[in-house]
Structures are given as C-alpha cells and as structure tokens.
Amino acid sequence: MAARSRSAIGALGAPGASSISARRDLARAQALQEPWPFPQKAAALCWGPAWFAKGVKMCKSVTPKRALRRSRTCCCSTGRGRTQCRKIKPHSLQEQSSSLMGFAMTRLLRVDKAWEELSNILSGIFCASLNFIDSTNTVTPTASFKPLGLANGTDHHLLRYAVLPREIVCTENLTPWKKLLPCGSKAGLAVLLKAERLFHSSYHSQAVHIRPICRDASCLAVSWELRQTLTVVFETFPSGQGKKDWSLFKMFSRTLTEACPLASQSKIYVDISAKDKEKELLEVTPSPTSVHEAIVQGEKRTYAVYDLLSPSLFNTSRSLNVQLKWKRPQDSLELSTPVLHAQRYVSGYGLQTGKISTLIYNTHPYRAFPVILLETVPWYLRLYVHTLTIITKGKENKPSYIHYQPAQDRRRPHLLEMLIQLPANSVTKITIQFERALLKWTEYTPDPNHGFYVSPSVLSALVPSVIAMKEVDMEQSPLFTSLFPSSDGSSYFVRLYTEPLLVNLPTPDFSMPYNVICLTCTVVAVCYGSFYNLLTRTFHVEEPTRGGLAKRLANIIRKFRGVPPL
Amino acid sequence: MAAAAAAAAADEAEKARGRRAALSFAAIAVVLGLPLWWKTTETYRAALPYADIAALGELSFQLAVPVAVVFAPGSQPRDLPRLLPFRDTEEKETLLNSRTSIASRYEMVCRSTTAQEEAALGAATVQEADAALHQLQDASLGSLSLYVIPETSLLLPQGIGVYVGKHRSALVRAGQGLAALRARLQQVMQIMSFTTSSITAALSDRMPASQLGPDARRHFKSSLGYEITFSLLNPDPKSHAVHWDIEGAVSRYVQPFLDKLSFLANFSVDSQILYYAVLGVTPRFDKESSSFLLSAHSLPHVINPVEARLGSSAASLYPVLNFLLYVPERSHSPLYIQDKDGALVGTNAFHSPRWGGIMVYNVEGPAAPQASLPLRVDVDMVRVMEVFLAQLRLLFGVSREVQPPEVLLESPGNEGLADWELDRLLWARTVENVATVSTTLTSLAQLLDKIGNIVIKDDVASEVYRAVAAVQSAMAELAVGHLHSAFQASKEAVTSSERAFFDPSLLHLLYFPDDQKFAIYIPLFLPMAVPILLSLAKIFREAKQRKKEPTKTD
C-alpha cells in the first residue's frame, strides 16, 4: 500500500578559514533528499558550520547578535501541492515569505537601530527586499523564540522578529547565497544548485543561520557558526504511469563529480526506508558506501549514505548519479499525516469585518502536548481580542499563557502569543474577528486589489515521539541532527509556519482626487458663472405695452362690473 | 420723449454699473485670487546663501606654512640681509585655471639655535639629532622646523645637503652664500608641505584632463572613511592549502600606518579567503623560463571577474580598498607579471588606481612530484605586506617622489608614515575637500535654481549654511597656516554639503511637472477666466467706440 521511499543526500564539508580571526573551522555541507510519495520529492541541502565571507562578517560586526536566523522561502505550487508539502515536512516549511529574526546583544536603546541596519545590510548582501522591514512589521515575541547557540541570557526585549509575506525568493537571491559557500558552486554538492531547476519546483526555501558556538571542547573562546540550508520540493514524476524512479540527474540536470576539497564531511543520504514487506521493492544504484538507521521525527528510517570523500565512489565512474528504482510500479499513494500540522484561513464577507481561523491538528494517538502560537497581524486589521475563541473537541480550551500587544496605527502590528494545550487526537480551532481599517490613499500598494498579506503564524512545539528515540550524537553527524532536531529521547522540536493569508481591504478609486478636484471646480465655476452673470448684466427698463389678452379680458370683466379698467 | 431720455440715461447708468461690476471682478481675481492661489500652492523654499555659493565657485587658495629656520652657530651665510632673529616671507602664486588659483606663502621665522637645540645638534648621528630635536618642538600640524648647519658639519654624510627627518624637522647644510641656501630651503619646504603638482592632483576634478599628470587620478578621493579588505584568492584548493596569518600581519604592519592616518578618516580592516576565484585571463606559457606570464595589457581584464566574488560593500558608503593575494593554480604556476617592456615585475604585483592592488604569490613546486596534495602553504606575510603597504601608500597619495641625490629622506620606521608626510597629505586633502564642497554646493544651487519644484526644507538650508560657513573658515584657517583646524573645518563642510545634497526631501515633489498641474487647474481656471476676459474685451471695445463717436459728429 503506501509507497514510501525516502532518500537523503548527505553532507559535504570543508575546513575553511574565517580569515581575520585566524581561526580554522569545519565547514560541512549536507544535502538530504527525500522523495515524497506523489508527485513531489524534497531535497534539503545544508551547509555549515562556520564559513564567513566578507558579507556575513559585515552583518555580524554591525549587529552583534546572539543568534540570527534569516529564511526566505517560497512555494510556487498551489492547492494540493502546497498543503501537501507543508504536511509532509512540518519542521521547516514556510511559504512565500521572508523572515528575519535576530537577538541583538547591543543595549536596548540601540536594538532598533541595529535591527534596521541589519535588515538593510542583509537586503544588500542577498539582493532581497528585506529593507522593507520596519516597525510596522517587526515584533518582539516573548516566548516563541529563544537564542540559538551559546547564549545564557534570554531577555526577550533584545529579540526582534519580522516577516515579509509578500516577498518571494528567486534567482537573484540564490546567487549571493551560493557565493557564501566555501567552494561556491564550483565543486561539491553545490554543483547541483542550478537555478532553472531549483526554481522550477513546488517548493523552495533557503536560509542562513548564524549563531555563536564554542570554538573547541574547552569552550574558552566563541566562534560564529554560519549554516546555510536549502530545501526544495521537486515534481519529478512527470508522466504518471505510476513510475516514481528518480535520479540526481533527473532532478538537478547535473551529476556530482567530486567533493569540495575543503570539506571535512560530504555525504548524501537517500531515504530507503519502506514499510515492512516492501523493502525489496527499492533499488538504489550505485551501491551506497554505508547504511544509516535513525529515528527521525518519531519514525524509523533507513538511509543509504554516499560519502563523497571516499575515493571508491568515483572509482568506477567519473561522476556520481544516484538513482532510485522501483521494481514494480506503485499505485497507491498514501500519505502519513504528521503528528502536528496546521491550517489557517480567513472567512467572512463584505469589506468591513472578517475572521481569522486557525486549525491545529494533533494526530498523536494518546499524547497531549502544548504548543506556542505566535500571530502577527498588521495594524490595518483591527483585531477584537474579546472575540478570541479556542475550541477543542467542542469545548473551550483556555490557553495557559497569553501575551497580547495591541497594534498602533502605522507604528506596530498586533502581536498575539498563546500557549495552548492540544489534547491527543484532536483539532483545535482558534478564531478571532477583525475589522478592516481604511488606509490613506498613498499607503496602498501598487496593486491594491490583489489584497494585503497577513504573515504566517508560527507554531512551536515539542512533539512527543510515537516510538522511542535514542539520543543522537551531535558530534557524529552534526548536520543530520540539525536538520532533524530532537530535544531528548521522547520528543522532538517542531516549528511550523502556516500559510500567509490574503485579505482584501476596502480599496478606493484612485482617480478620486482628480475627480474631486474636477467636481469641486465645476460646482464653483457654475456658482461663480451665475453670480457673475447676475452682477454684470445690464438691465433695460421695458416700455409698458398695450397689454396682453389677460388684461383685455380683465378690462371687459371690469366693464361689466362697472369698475374703471386697468 | 422725456421718458425715453430718462430710460436711455437709466440704461446708460445700468451699463456703467455692469462695466464696473465686471472690472471689479477682474480686479478681485487679479488682486486677491491670483496671490491667494500662488501662496497656497507654492513649494516651500528656504533661503540659501546663493551669493556665497557663487563666490565659492572661484577658489583662490592661500596656503600659509609657518616655518622656523634655525641657524646653528657658524652656519649663517655672510650675506644675510638682517641680524637674527627676523621674519621673512616667501610667496608664490600659481593660476591653475580661470576659476582656481593657489597662493603659497612660507612665513619664515629666522633665529639662531637655543642651547638645547645646539646640544641636540651635537648628537653623534643624524637620527639621534632628529629624535632629540623632536622633543624640543611644539610641533603643530603643518609647521616646519628647518635647522641650518654649517657646510662642514659632519652630522650629515658626505654629499648629502638636505636631511628630512621622521617628524617635522629637517637639517640643511648652509651651502655657499644666501642664494644657494634659499634654494635649498625652498626645496625642503616644498618636499615637506606641498608642491604645485600635489595640489593640482588634489584639484583634479576642477582641472581639464590634459593638464593632469598620469598619476593625478591614482589616489583615492578624499572620504570620511575607508574600508580595507585583504583577500586571499585560492583558485585551486585541491592542490594548495594556503594559510596566512593576516591578523598578525595587519596588526604589525598596517595598523600603525592606519593609526597615524586615523585623524584623516575612519578605517575598517577585514579579510577573507576565497576559493575557486580565478583571474579573468588565461596566462601565456613561456617555454624559455617554463613559467606563465601575464602581460601588462591583459591586466585590466583580471579584476572584473574577481570583483564579483569579493563581496558587496553593503555595510557602508565608504570606498573599499581591495588587496588581493593570488595564489595561482598548480597548472598555471609559476605565474609572473610582465610590464610593458616585457621585463618581469620584481614584486609580481600591480595596482589599479582607486581600486586596490593584486599580488601574485607563487608556490614552489613540491620537492617530490608524488607529494600528497593538497600542499600546505604558509604565506610569507613580510613579503606580502611590504607590497601591500607600498600600494596602500600609493593609493593614499603619500608615496615618496624621486628626490635629487643630495636629499636624504629618513625612512618612517614602524609607523609607515612620517609626520611631514601626514602634513603633506593633509594639505592636499584639505584643498581637495574645499574643492569638493565648492563643486557640491555649486551644483546644488544650480539644480535648485533650475527646478522650481524642489522643496527646500529648513534643515537642508541650515546644512548648506553650515557647509558654507565651514568651508569659509577652512579657507581662512589655511590662509593663517592652521592646518589642523582647516582640515577639521573642511571635513565638516564635506559632511554638511553631502547631507544637504543627498537629502531625500529634495526629491519629494519632483514628479509633478507643470503641464500636469495646469491640467488639474483647468476646470477651475477656464470657467472663471473666460467671462472675465470676454467682458473686459467688451468694455475695451465699447471704450474704443466711444472714443470714435465724437470724431464722427465732427
């Protein structure tokens, strides 16, 4: 029945030097590739840690931060493709938005200034529109985010988070991103990053993470780690027929020839786990260097590992083209639902009020767990907090923590954070009503009838695992664990971004100012015209005439009555 | 009959009233309406010192250099005009072009040595004497002390007539007679302060290209800050694992130099290693020397492909100085740069004006060909930084010109820059800043004059006033020889004028052309103006007719 095959590309790494600090660090890169049942396949590529080109150093030096996370993603497909990819990979997907968050270490007064500088520099480095981040879309979450890496303070006043739901990633963002890789796109796994293939996909996400880490085991000095990740969901099974074979060449239209010479680790993980009896149906060529078993997000998975650094891999042929074949065509395509997933939509009619509904699903058979929900809503949607309702299984669900910061017009957005307990096997519906504000006519975007985006809400949760997980050794496979983080043996961390919403605001007719001017002028001109006419007209004294028919009739009557005529 | 006459009179009176009404309408429209419309729709334009800005268009620099000429015992020429001490000035005026002139004035105070100075001059070596004399000076920026020593003094080596120290003093041999001494003093003063050519180079923007030497556009424009980036390019990481101790090298060689220049501008230094960054040209293989050659004419094509990898300068608006150390691929090494005559360049480096420098660092082949790759390479930073520092000096315009053999210049030592070289740079930079401000303000005034739509806010106007005041004070300070305050004022003027010029508020209303404005006004203007004009025309016609009527009856 369920044809589940996963492939993962592994890690490529490099010892590189972050130059001015005269320090050498390991730079590794990893690509993880997972073919989703039908019709998509996901590939996650991950590079790290610690590779500093000048640009990144710049943003580091301008804004010393505890941790900086910047992620730009886009999902090009719609409907089914979208929901599916979100359901499948709940841990890192985010759609059509750029987000930026950072912990600034500078003093509080200067945080906002540093934040502004940071977003400007990043927009310069990555050719992105991040410079549109300002106070109207920046919030200071209290509970949803914590600094990554070495940081003991968790003062949320230093945290800033912003999302630009309108911005999508494209080639111009990929090129500077690729330049930050140690070998550029000249060698190693980055050779696969061909823009026309990557953006011809259902889902694309690229991210840059910077965080402080220990320089060595004794942890006396701090190094900065830069991690770059790229996640792509491909549609690789073009012509039905139930054929789900794929190869690197088919996906990226390139093959691998060598590892990046700077890499200390360079591996491809191909997910070959299959349910029980279907194991024999899969075939990967060439034969993997090793097989890795891991429990990832509560599921047992088997990976075929290709270590690009092992010379035997390139012995037989000069290039590596990993292929996965099915021994017989698959027909059923069942998707296992993730334990935590969410859905959001806007409802209501008319242009005055509306309602934002968020559905959070917990499909875990027997465990309840809490989830932190972060909502940022722009100021032009005026939220009515008293209409906030959280309903689970027909009963009201009271959040155990709630933080609400109301918006200020043209200054800051609404911020709503809640800690909600999700009972086992339940759907929680969160609704809140809003009113649409009227904007000034210069505040509308160039295409106002397209609507205004509301940024995705963020769900953070420690999801209990269905099966027991064992502690993963971070040192052994650092990138693998960073792709699939787990906090302890029994649960794993999931951060989920819902889809952005598109809300129509009452849109005026933009020729209105001209019409008003014309109308006013016309009214004034008409009044003025008659007034002028009245005042400057020359009046003649008319000679009295003999009188008309009425007068003659009146005189005849007067004659009869014996009264003198008029 | 009488009734008819009365009616005609009344008619006439009525007509006159109508005329008056029409005239008063026209009058109100002109006297009240037009000014009201003008006042309510005009753009706010604060007053600017146009006259002062126009005056700045013509720059006549007066550069005064305070010089102390100290005669050691036995060094006074016999034909000295007056008894010591006395004051003397030496002036020279150069007209660079119709709008620019330089008048240099060396204000010399001639005196004999004090006892301490005498003792200092009695030191064993000239370096010690220089150091001892430095202690005795109250050396303000731009001032010079010249010590005249007897012709027969043994302090200077044989054949050396002039010794310029590390600081702001020089030793000059008395020579034969006053004329020879004067010539020597003049030479020293020009070396230590400015020459016409150094000032001309600073004013390169105001000069036609034909008047400029080839080096005039080499150094970086004056700016409030610079970013210096050292990049190690390793196009072949498979064969070479290159390591460089850039941090140590920067703190040892570059930082002292920059500390010295910190008064001039803010500097930030960073470095990076770029892999797989290749030059844009394929070097030519030379069979004789079995090496690869980059000829001089192909060097311009080297930079562009590399520059794309160097990283953006997104963080600041300051110009970036790039210093690239290129370790050629194994298949292309050794790689040498050939100059125009075909000879190999000794340093194996070249620089690009106002951009930076590139040095090719050849890695010696492994002793055994089967040595395991990658080959570990530790860069010899002394050799590299020597070249980069020389290029840095060149790009800042503090390179030493070739001097006649009788002039001995003391090497600046660890700081990389002698005090008088800093002064020389400051003279040029102050003049350049003043010229920049003059250009900025003149073009701003022209622009504002040309486009009446631009709003001039009060803060823009105040920046302009501040810039004008600062530039005037800079000129005044130059004329009295206060180099320090002149430079500070010129820096301030640059900041203010740039801020005024690039103020975003200047652009707000730029996209409302006049024809569109009138298109909007027409629905109001047309119905109001047409009746007024028609009745005015009618009144005019009637008046003309009335004038004609009496002549008819004649």
Q: What is the pLDDT of residues A53-88, one digit of tens each?
A: 444 444 333 333 334 444 433 322 222 223 333 333
- Give Cα separations from B318 to A54, B265, B442 (angstroms): 15, 10, 23
- Contact state of A57 with B272 under an 8 Å Cβ cutoff: yes
Q: B391-417: b or e for each residue (b if 16 or more CB lie within 10 Å)?
A: bbbbbbbbeeeeeeeebbbbebeeebb
Please give the sequence-ordered ranges of beta strands (E in DSSP) within B224-366, or none if there are none. Answer: 225-234, 240-243, 266-275, 284-286, 291-294, 320-326, 335-337, 349-352, 356-360
Token digits for A57?
């150093």
- Contact state of B270 with A57 under an 8 Å Cβ cutoff: yes
Whole-number pLDDT of residue A88: 31
Residue B529 touches partner A, C-beta closer than 8 Å: no
Whole-number pLDDT of residue A477: 53
Of A322, A217, A332, A311, nearest in space to A272 by CA:
A322
Q: What share of chain A is helix, strand, coil (3-state, %, to 5)?
A: 20, 35, 40
- Contact state of B274 with A62 under an 8 Å Cβ cutoff: no
Give B500's pLDDT tier (boundaries 50, 70, 90): very high
The residue type of A430 is: I
Q: Any residues with CB less than 8 A from the CB of A494 and at least 6 apart, and which?
A: A90, A91, A297, A339, A340, A459, A460, A461, A462, A463
Lowest pLDDT segment from A38-42, A259-263, B315-319, B439-443: A38-42
Region class of A8: left (phi > 0), else alpha (psi between -120 and 50), else beta = beta
Bond into B85 cis (ω within 30): yes
Size of interface A-B (CB pairs under 8 A): 125
Q: Any residues with CB less than 8 A from the CB of B373 and at least 6 apart, and which?
A: B238, B239
Residue B321 touches partner A, C-beta closer than 8 Å: no
Give A315's pLDDT tier (boundaries 50, 70, 90): confident
pLDDT averaged over every residue in chain A = 72
The residue type of B367 is: A
pLDDT tens digits, one per residue of A460-502? 888 887 665 555 544 455 556 555 555 556 778 888 888 888 8
Residue B528 touches partner A, C-beta closer than 8 Å: yes
- Contact state of B18 with A537 under an 8 Å Cβ cutoff: yes
Whole-number pLDDT of residue A202: 75
Whole-number pLDDT of residue A183: 81
Which residue carries 């020729």 as its tokens?
Answer: A511
DSSP category for residue B30: I
CA atoms within 13 A on the CB side of B405: 2
Q: CA A221, CA A210: separation in Å to the nearest integer?
A: 16
Give A455's pLDDT tier (boundaries 50, 70, 90): confident
φ, ψ of residue B356 in degrees (nearest 5): 155, -160
Give B435's pLDDT tier (boundaries 50, 70, 90): very high
Closest residue in B to A124 (Cα) is B314
Lowest pLDDT segment from A45-49, A155-159, B4-8: A45-49
Which of A12, A21, A24, A54 should we substitute to test contact with B (largest number of B Cβ atoms within 10 Å)? A54
Token digits for A303?
């990976």
Which residue carries 């803060």 as its tokens?
Answer: B459
Q: How far is B319 from chain A (nearest CA, A)?
A: 15
Q: B281-312: b or e for each residue (b if 16 or more CB lie within 10 Å)?
A: eebeeeeeeebbbbeeebbeebbeebbebbbb
Cβ contact A301:A273 at 8 Å: yes
DSSP category for residue A366: S
- Contact state of A20 with B246 under an 8 Å Cβ cutoff: yes
Q: Write the ipTM.
A: 0.75
Q: CA B267, CA B125: separation in Å to the nearest integer?
A: 36
Say what the pTM is.
0.78
pLDDT tens digits, one per residue of B339-381? 888 888 888 898 888 888 999 998 876 655 666 777 888 889 9
Percent of chain B with pLDDT over 90: 17
Residues of chain B found within 8 Å of residue A524, distances taken between Cβ atoms: 524, 528
